[in-house]
Amino acid sequence: MRHFTSLLIGLAFAAAALAVPAAGATLDSGEADLLTQVNAFRAANGLPTLVVSDTLTNAAKWMATDMSVKDYFSHTSLDGRTPTQRMADAGYPAFQNWAGEDLAAGYTSAKDVLGGWINSPAHLAVLKNPEYHAIGIGRAYSAGSQWKWYWAADFGGAIDRATTASAFDLGYHSSFSAQSPDPTLAPGQTTTLVLALNNTGYRGWYAGSPGQSAFIGTADPLDGPRTDVASGWLSLNRPATTTTAYVGPGQTGWFSFAIKAPSTPGTYRLSVRGVIDGVTWLEDAGVYWTITVR
């Protein structure tokens, strides 16, 4: 079952609107797909391409998450804020520009979300508004909610500057629980390392769900490829994801992965950190192993 709604908020376009494209927002694969389809639809109708705004993205991701976690569907969030207020709270100049929001629930694909909006006059008015130049997109999933998948798209008339900090808590946090001991190996020998992180946020970790999967990534430096010790990893900078399909708030997520000792004897340090790819790095607990090669 699917549901959608839209709200068009027409405000005077500010002549002094900033014209610097946002450069730091991160969309997961489904959000990026919706952006591509929305811009293709607008281009086919002779409308300006929408630029991703960090601030609008933060507002949209927060709204999608809030609806999924708290199991409701409305333009007014349960804290009483309107879309314009949420955008402004995220740092977007919503009260000085055109601003609008489209929501959808129950759809699993971006194609179906856009199709639902196109077939709704109110949504179509938002999609075809020539005053819009910026967009933020968010989606979230909660297995215990009525609609499962929730989507939010926030539109704005101004292309704002990138922001370096989110005004909202995106709901992903962790703390250290336990790890396996430092290994001592012969050259070329393999062993398994284990890490446990507590989910201290209010969002669950869903293995295999883009934007909601928890991984451990290489650290010091972040995302550095570890060709020297990687063995069967998801990638050279992603040793593992959770061993269970779901880790709820307050639960402990376990990560297990193999390493292979380098051929040259010595000591090697492997630092890792939790990450929700496409959303945020988790708190740095300073986790590392000292690998001794005999």
Can you spell out the DSSP letters for 52-111?
Answer: E-HHHHHHHHHHHHHHHHHT---SS-TTS--HHHHHHHTT--GGGS-EEEEEEES--SHH
For residue 279, what are the CA distances in angstroms to 25, 54, 58, 140, 163? Answer: 9, 12, 10, 11, 15
Task: Give the pLDDT mean for 44-65.
Answer: 92
Q: How far apart are CA 130 and CA 52, in angstroms?
A: 16
With 0.85 as the threshold, say if the pTM is over it: no
> What does R_g of the chain's alpha carbons equal in angstroms?
22
Higher pLDDT, 81 or 279: 81
What single-letter amino acid sits at 82? T
On whether the CB atoms of residues 25 and 57 are closer than 8 A, the answer is yes
pLDDT at 169: 66
List pLDDT tens digits, range 187-209.
999 999 999 999 998 778 888 87
Confidence of residue 25 (pLDDT cuts 50, 70, 90): low
List pLDDT tens digits, range 153-164.
999 999 986 544
- Specify the range with the lowest mean pLDDT, choosing from 2-6, 118-122, 276-280, 288-292: 2-6
pLDDT at 6 exceeding the cut of 80: no
Task: Give the pLDDT mean for 33-48.
Answer: 96
- The token duo for 203 is 């969002």
Higher pLDDT, 156 or 166: 156
Task: Give the pLDDT mean for 57-85.
Answer: 91
Task: Give the pLDDT mean for 64-82.
Answer: 91
User: Alpha-carbon torsion 126, 127, 129, 133, what sign?
Assistant: positive
Higher pLDDT, 259 or 18: 259
Q: How far apart are CA 260 and CA 232, in angstroms?
A: 9
pLDDT at 142: 85
What single-letter DSSP state applies at residue 221? Answer: T
pLDDT at 168: 56
Residue percentage of the chain with pLDDT more than 70: 88
List pLDDT tens digits, range 199-250.
998 778 888 877 789 999 999 999 999 999 999 999 999 999 999 988 988 8
Compute the residue count for the chain: 294
pLDDT at 282 exceeding the cut of 50: yes
